[in-house]
Amino acid sequence: MSDALAEALAETRQALGPTARVSWGEGDDGLVRVHVTLGPARHGHTPQWGVAAYDRGFVLAELRRGVSQLQTDRALLAGRAPLTRPLSGAALLSPAAAGVFVHECFGHTSEADNYLARETSADRVLGDRWTTAPVTVRDLPRARPYAGSYDEDDEGTPSRTVTLLTEGRWTGLLTHRATRRLSGGQSTGHGRGAAGTAVPRCSVLEVEPGPYSSPELLRQMGDGWLLGTPVGGYSVNGLLVLELLWIRRARAGRLTDEVLGPAVVCAKKSALAAQVTAIGSDTVVHSSPYTCVKESYEVGSTLISPSLLLKRCVLRPLDQFGRGRRKD
């Protein structure tokens, strides 16, 4: 460990107090991971944060943001009341929550094998509109130093950028050799997995920022909920599941002190995507230490997203919600 990283980790422990558990590691490929939890892990109740990147300088810079986020989460949890019944209304996805939403809704759905598996039953096909807001999403496999980035996929194909959504319309798929017919006869270089078992996978997903600041999005929302720190996300049977540490009520475009949680959004992907009405300018990069699993194969993941405003969604108590198994 470098002196700078050791010092930064020590400062992190000191800033967060005795409940902080800080771990780190470096893989043979040079990926540096840091993970911080505030107390024993309990899903939906313990604040945690992490970062991974192929650049120690990036990790060091992100540690400061991580400390700030964990301090905010801890303060909000101190006043959090349990969510005991479903709620519905307008919602503002924080950049972190929006990143998970995009990863599940557009990233995995645009993996060519998933597209083919649902081709006869899906209510969206390539060329259709997903969002009324002009959401543009790109997969950037060469975006170093972020987790999930790579130059060549596991089939030996050079990776390339793919625009999945263009101003709300579905315009691209992620392919490997077996599905290359869906990308003009040439693989996009997204085949990941052991020899002979590779499947298309998303990597570094970026949402193009919009024109609205966070306060402007809150004013547009009026009454509703800010969806804060995500603690999990997955897809099952065409549904998107987004798990949240806390949600915070807004009234007349201003945040209140009412904080509830943990909460979960479970909705049909196309239905939830259709609720996106505005895009923020507050882009945040989350180069994640957590891997994404598909077909028992783990890959890295980075989510780059601003806030996204939803016209309506339903929020349910996480503690009353059974966790599913990813299927798409």
User: What is the residue-level pLDDT of the chain in tens, covering all 328 positions?
Assistant: 688 999 999 999 999 999 999 999 999 999 999 999 999 999 999 999 999 999 999 999 999 999 999 999 999 999 999 999 999 999 999 999 999 999 999 999 999 999 998 754 468 899 999 999 999 999 999 999 999 999 999 999 999 999 999 999 999 999 999 999 999 999 999 999 998 999 999 999 999 999 999 999 999 999 999 999 999 999 988 899 999 999 999 999 999 999 999 999 999 999 999 999 999 999 999 999 999 999 889 999 999 999 999 999 999 999 988 755 444 5
Look at residue 122 in the predicted model and tell me its pLDDT.
Answer: 62
- Closest Cα partner for 70 from 93, 38, 43? 38
Look at residue 1 in the predicted model and tell me its pLDDT.
Answer: 66
Q: Looking at residue 159, what DSSP letter applies?
A: P
d(C-alpha 69, C-alpha 230), whole Å = 12
Cβ-contact 13, 35 below 8 angstroms: no
d(C-alpha 156, C-alpha 174), whole Å = 15
Kindly report, residue by residue over 114-135, the tens digit of the pLDDT.
Answer: 999 875 446 889 999 999 999 9
Residues in contact with 61: Cβ distance below 8 Å, sequence separation at least 6, in sequence order: none
Neighbours of 48 (CB within 10 A): 21
Question: Which region holds residue 17: left if phi is over 0, alpha if psi is between -120 and 50, else beta?
Answer: left
Cβ-contact 223, 255 below 8 angstroms: no
Amino acid code (one letter) for 51: V
> What residues form DSSP beta bridges with 33?
25, 52
Kindly report, residue by residue over 214-265, the tens digit of the pLDDT.
Answer: 999 999 999 999 999 999 999 988 899 999 999 999 999 999 999 999 999 9
Structure tokens, 243: 């798990």
Instruction: Return the sign of the alpha-carbon dihedral for residues 282, 279, 96, 217.
Output: positive
pTM: 0.96
Residues in contact with 279: Cβ distance below 8 Å, sequence separation at least 6, in sequence order: 133, 134, 135, 207, 208, 209, 210, 211, 212, 306, 307, 308, 309
- Closest Cα partner for 306 from 170, 146, 137? 137
Look at residue 120 in the predicted model and tell me its pLDDT.
Answer: 46
d(C-alpha 44, C-alpha 37), whole Å = 12
d(C-alpha 2, C-alpha 225), whole Å = 42
